[in-house]
A and B are shown apart, each in its own frame.
Chain A
């Protein structure tokens, strides 16, 4: 596989762009997300809350950003962090336990992404949500409860403080404070190498795919 590396600067992120010729897909290495934080407290925030099901009546992900947390926001009457003026330029979400539980809808991370979120720090993530985030290039890093709460407080106290999630050092910088975080090693490797969009890697293995299929007895059984 031929790789050509060039570098590019995003307004909020430091990224390196990688072209994978075999699949014609533009892949981006993600090593660091810089910008500002937004705290969202609460355990078990499910994907129905992130994007209520009625907004899934669509054939593209366009427009989902405006609907993120639609019901929670309307009930909080402008007091939801996603509506508060101090967080309107935020791109790093800080959440608590079991964030993204429930449905497998990729619409949830897509809605967060289209609102502007580029990385998530949390105590823990639901499995399918985590995988969906990886697949669209949103790194999710974890930290213990005290660390997350300190980080949420630090952001609330100083929303203007610059914040960085570094996937190489596994550190989060918020103003002058530094916090250690963890990341699933596979996801970390995929972000850093720019292979978080797995489609290219998977389709490149067509011979091995056919060989594995040939070994599976049920693919050749008679059904009539």
Chain B
């Protein structure tokens, strides 16, 4: 059992009671809600005559269903409009802060909370979305929850949870050129598996993680859930504090110093005990691309699609299913795979640093003929900042569409969808069957830089060739 880790300390500080089931009743410091998983939770509260206990600890925005082209109300999609109205009404009736479209603060929930300084070290954070793990980048314990649990947090600001084990994942050394946080997490999931993290919180550490910016750490923690881990985190450090200082909801004045003191105290101790430790060498990581239908089916861009006999027996059935669904053959190089759609955005890779990196590779190039390519900023603030830097002009000159903020084609609950069996190069987080809106649509996950390289060449390309 882990001891002295950030996870243990934060868990302890937020423990309200131990329930008869043995589960912990855990106080939730920040609750984020959106239009997809909250309407039913508010309905449950109304049915039971319950009120929101701490309305000031919940923040709402709209992201999954928002169109990224025509955002005029009412939305063309009547179901989306109904969800939107439901959220607007629930936020108003319960005095919950709501960042609506056009507020200047709307965006993907996992982008807006960090950029406003709502996400802070040592907090417990919950949201009805599995990518809540993103907020672990700050040293928070951030958990994706279902709708009944959204109800529980609204009603009690607590959750009934079983304590997780803690696995430390160390990545040491320097990442080679063209290798990003996205590649690091795809590499980790490739090796530990999509269920390797079930029952664990992942603590990421080592020199490669220490060298990452906070936005890179968000990319890393975001996909912990793809490795089966409900949350992932990085111990807070100067990088974290420098990012937070001065943000809207960051502590101010004397409280800033008190905060830094507390944040330092909740870092994992030097002699902390872990349930498991895994080490990776940064130099071994290449730009990584998924070829299959789970995020664990990834390979280095220079590798070939693996043959059945190279994998454990337990992986073979899903690999066979993946070859068929993806229309790809074992032994075939992934480089050169023709692409129909290119998407940069999502809670994984829709932040300013992602767009800057993407623009660097797009500048002076053109999207290949026949490829639809679009860039979706993660929030209204990201959009505004990117435009202030002229990134939108770089993208448009290269033939990319420049959109409004939202989840877009990561999960296609909005008009952005693949058609038929189109294949996308996507900076998002899931390559599940049908994930991008067509039941036969195919997704190759990769870093934003790799998506741009694919857009320019019309096929999967090795971004390292563009770096040099």
Contact = CB atoms under 8 A, between A and B. Distances in A.
10 contacts: A48-B433, A57-B79, A57-B80, A58-B83, A70-B439, A105-B36, A135-B149, A205-B158, A209-B53, A212-B27
Interface of B: 13-17, 19-23, 25, 27, 29, 36-37, 39-40, 43-44, 48-50, 53-54, 64-65, 77, 79-80, 82-83, 86, 117, 120, 122-123, 128-130, 132, 144-149, 151-152, 155-162, 194-195, 198-199, 225, 228, 230, 248-253, 255, 258-259, 262, 294, 314, 317-318, 321, 411-413, 430, 432-435, 437, 439-440
A208 B16 contact: yes
The number of chain A residues touching the other chain, given as a range, is: 35 or more
A211 to B, nearest CB: 8
A52 B434 contact: yes
A218 B122 contact: yes
B314 A43 contact: yes
Contact of A197 (B77, B148, B162): B148
A44 B262 CA distance: 40
B48 A24 contact: yes
Contacts of B151: 199
Interface stretch (A84-92, A126-134, A157-165): A126-134
* Most central of A56, A71, A74, A109 by chain B CB within 10 Å: A56
A97 interface: yes
A24 B48 CA distance: 7
Contact of A49 (B39, B65, B80, B432): B432
A46 interface: yes
A101 B128 contact: no
Q: 8 tightest A-B contacts by CB?
A: A106-B146, A132-B146, A135-B148, A71-B439, A221-B251, A57-B79, A59-B39, A202-B156
Given A127-B198, A223-B252, A104 B37 contact: yes
A200 B251 CA distance: 34
Contacts of A218: 29, 120, 122-123, 251, 259, 262
A205 B432 contact: no
B25 A23 contact: no
Contact of A185 (B22, B83, B146): B22
Given A198-B160, A202-B156, A104 B128 contact: yes
B359 to A, nearest CB: 29
Contacts of B434: 48-49, 52, 71
Given A212-B14, A222-B251, A57 B65 contact: yes
Q: In terms of DSSP, what is the predominant structure of the interface of chain B?
A: loop
Contacts of A127: 198-199, 228, 230
Interface of A: 23-25, 42-44, 46, 48-49, 52-54, 56-61, 70-72, 74-75, 97-98, 101-107, 109, 124, 126-128, 131-132, 135-136, 184-187, 189-190, 193, 195, 197-199, 201-203, 205-206, 208-209, 211-213, 215-219, 221-224
A219 B27 CA distance: 12
Contacts of A224: 252
A212 B15 contact: yes
A195 B432 contact: no
A97 B314 contact: yes
Given A59-B86, A98-B228, A128-B130, A54 B412 contact: yes
Contacts, number: 233
A203 B45 CA distance: 12
* Most central of B15, B36, B80, B412 by chain A CB within 10 Å: B36
A110 to B, nearest CB: 8
Contacts of B413: 53-54, 56-57
Contacts of B230: 127-128
A97 B194 CA distance: 11
A142 to B, nearest CB: 11
A106 B148 contact: yes
Given A59-B40, A218-B120, A48 B195 contact: no
A55 to B, nearest CB: 9
Contacts of B86: 59
B249 A223 contact: yes
A126 B14 contact: no
A222 B252 contact: yes
A219 B48 CA distance: 28
Contact of A202 (B48, B117, B152): B152
B20 A205 contact: no
A15 B318 CA distance: 38
A137 B418 CA distance: 36
B16 A205 contact: yes
* Most central of A43, A103, A203 by chain B CB within 10 Å: A103
B205 to A, nearest CB: 22
A59 B14 CA distance: 31
A131 B146 contact: yes
